[in-house]
Amino acid sequence: MAALTDLTIAEARDQLRARKISARELAQAHVSAVAKAKQLNAFITETPEMALSMATASDQRLKAGDGGALEGVPLAIKDLFCTKDVLTTAASHILHGFKPPYESTVSANLWKAGAVLLGKTNLDEFAMGSSNTTSYYGPVHNPWQRRGDNRPLVPGGSSGGSAAAVAARVAMGATGTDTGGSIRQPAAFCGLVGLKPTYGRCSRWGIVAFASSLDQAGPMTRTVRDAAIMLGAMASHDPKDSTSVPRPVPDYEKALTGDIRGLKFGIPKEYRIDGMAPEIEKLWQQGIEWLKAAGATPVEISLPHTKYALPAYYIIAPAEASSNLARYDGVRFGLRIPGDSLDGMYENTRAEGFGAEVQRRVMIGTYVLSAGYYDAYYLKAQRVRSLIARDFTEAYKKCDVILTPTAPSAAFAIGEKADDPIAMYLNDVFTVTVNLAGLPGISVPAGLSAEGLPLGLQLIGRAFDEETLFRVAGVVEKAANFTALPPGIS
Amino acid sequence: MALDKATVARIATLARIKVADADLDKMVGELQTIISWVEQLDAVDTKGVEPMTSAVEVTLPMREDKVSDGGYVAQIVANAPEPVVVGEGAFFTVPKVVE
């Protein structure tokens, strides 16, 4: 029998229900794996005791035959989700010691479905980054390495700890959040499936806010089926988030029919960017061939405002962040650095509590929202955002789903790109349009780079059509047959 | 738009982030790079285009204006840096703001 940590969520679920394994032994195997993988720095807080007691409760429910959809499945939670009485940091010094007295809706939904908490995963500070190097708790290491080169690589970001934990077989799945690519890019860098649902599909209540009109929670898993199972448990309508949408949650697993005959998939010509690595281009072509072989038809489409998506994002996201992060003032929770006046205390607390990238974005956001500049920057960017959304509306008159690469490169080394914020921002060139338009997107591992690192393909769907995404993603997964594992994992 | 030290110092004050004078020059450079880069949006013709204000077409829901939850004083101050509890009341504290 394979190790318990090698099981997929679907396999574990079936074995748990058949009482072939117990939730307790499954939790114990993962708790031990977490303890052994400390060098990845994937967790900010480990919760082994909670894991074991939750698993014991799961075993009782399984015995009684009333286990939930994720009963006994050990998961990691990005440390951006508030968890009741468990330290929640957003990887920022400013939330020093913060133990929320409440539970985020998404994590509460997971516990209601029977999932087991292994711990809270590391991330870029306030989810601002694409490499998990801006965390106050230090960078996360990607379990993958280049062939013949043992320099530590980034896991991507911002959900880097979640990605590293799932790729290293430490957690069966993990939650992420995605504001510009923060689920899909780390999923691609670590050889995982990562889904950003349609804006409004998952409640944002209890998730530390970065950019409220872009943030969305989603699953990070080793298979498409596992992502479908997890999303089914995470999604809900929540009266506490007025942007969460009152639509029934479908049985996403049922969408995995493998049948995409007659489906039209769009290939956006603007995504053939200058300087794209030939191996990324080749993988994209391979993806087209896979879908054609399964009976779908490629259609060339145009998303003419693609090149303006990142600049628009770097106005809108910092603007919303500067407003959301105004609450961190040293008064009600977290860090307080004394000052000789009230303003002095605010300024000292925020200077000490926020890292360099967060300060930079709060400053940019403050500037673009300030008197005299609001129209020129913020309103302009919101108009461009309308055009980007309109591009997709036009494209979906010609196709059902869009196929692109997930990221312009494979994982890079920790420290690379560190001096150039804009080079770092370009990681999100293929993912950020999806957030601006509010659409669902999924990254599926599709191949290896010449250096032996995972590469992902992205599928973008119509709003609230996650089912088509899962169906097509399942076909890509089967055709790619991605079985490679990080070194040291067998 | 060219940023200068005075503008960046003013933004830092608005953002309530203390920036030492010695760090201002570096920050001017960093912010200028980003601002110049986002200014490529000027090339987009947005005449007659409405700003996007909602990621998904939804009508915001209405609810009755009545209190449905509450009574968590102890939990609300539990994470405060220097809370003060007096009798039934619990308080956040700040440096003195009136003489």
**Chain A partners within 8 Å of B80 (Cβ):** 331-333
Q: How far apart are the CA of B50 and the nearest CA of chain A, in angstroms? A: 6
Determine, yes or no, domain membership for B71: no
Tell me which residue range forms the domain holding B28.
5-42
Q: Do B40 and A308 touch (CB under 8 A)?
A: yes
Determine, yes or no, domain membership for B69: no
Q: Do B49 and A386 touch (CB under 8 A)?
A: yes
When divided into structural domains, chain B yields a total of 1
pLDDT for A422 equals 83
The pLDDT tens digits for A124-168 are 999 999 999 999 999 999 999 999 999 999 999 999 999 999 999
Tokens of A338: 């004394």
Q: Do A438 and B63 touch (CB under 8 A)?
A: no
Mean pLDDT per block of 10 residues along chain A (490 residues) reads 89 97 98 97 98 98 97 98 98 98 98 98 97 97 96 97 98 98 98 98 98 97 98 97 95 98 98 88 97 98 97 98 98 96 97 97 97 94 98 98 96 86 87 98 97 97 98 98 89
Report d(CA A125, CA A360) in Å as an integer. Answer: 12
Report d(CA A81, CA B21) in Å as an integer. Answer: 36
When divided into structural domains, chain A yields a total of 1
**What is the count of residue pairs from A and B with beta carbons less than 8 Å apart?**
163
Please name the residues between 38 and 57 in chain B that touch chain A, using a CB distance below 8 Å.
Answer: 38-42, 44, 46, 49-56
Of B33, B72, B80, the CB nearest to A333: B80
Q: Domain containing A65 — which CATH number?
A: 3.90.1300.10
Determine, yes or no, domain membership for B36: yes
The pLDDT tens digits for A327-383 are 999 999 999 999 999 999 999 999 999 999 999 999 999 999 998 999 999 999 999
pLDDT for B29 equals 95
Q: Do B54 and A213 touch (CB under 8 A)?
A: yes
Report d(CA B58, CA A237) in Å as an integer. Answer: 13
B22 touches chain A (CB under 8 A): no
Determine, yes or no, domain membership for B96: no
**Chain B partners within 8 Å of A322 (Cβ):** 15
Query: Is the dihedral angle over the CA atoms A110, A111, A117, A120 positive or is it negative?
Result: positive
Of A177, A200, A202, the residue nearest A187 (C-alpha)? A177
Report d(CA B29, CA A100) in Å as an integer. Answer: 38
pLDDT for B87 equals 84
Of A321, A413, A307, A308, the residue nearest A360 (C-alpha)? A321
pLDDT for A23 equals 98
What percent of chain B stands above pLDDT 90?
72
The pLDDT tens digits for B36-45 are 999 999 999 9
The string over A257-296, giving b where at least 16 C-beta atoms fall within 10 Å of a residue's C-beta and e elsewhere, is eeebeebbbbbbebbeeeebeebbeebbeebbebbeebeb
The pLDDT tens digits for B4-53 are 999 999 999 999 999 999 999 999 999 999 999 999 999 999 999 999 98
Tell me which residue range forms the domain holding A5.
1-490
CB atoms within 10 A of CB B59: 6
Half-sphere exposure of A360 (CA within 13 A, CB side): 21
pLDDT for A2 equals 65
B2 touches chain A (CB under 8 A): no
pLDDT for A296 equals 98
Determine, yes or no, domain membership for B28: yes
pLDDT for A208 equals 98
Q: Do A363 and B27 touch (CB under 8 A)?
A: yes
Report d(CA A267, CA A301) in Å as an integer. Answer: 6
Determine, yes or no, domain membership for B79: no
Determine, yes or no, domain membership for B18: yes
| Best mutation target, A303, A383, A393, to test chain B (most B CBs within 10 A) | A383
Cβ contact A177:A80 at 8 Å = yes
Determine, yes or no, domain membership for B89: no
Residues of A marked active site are found at 78, 158, 182
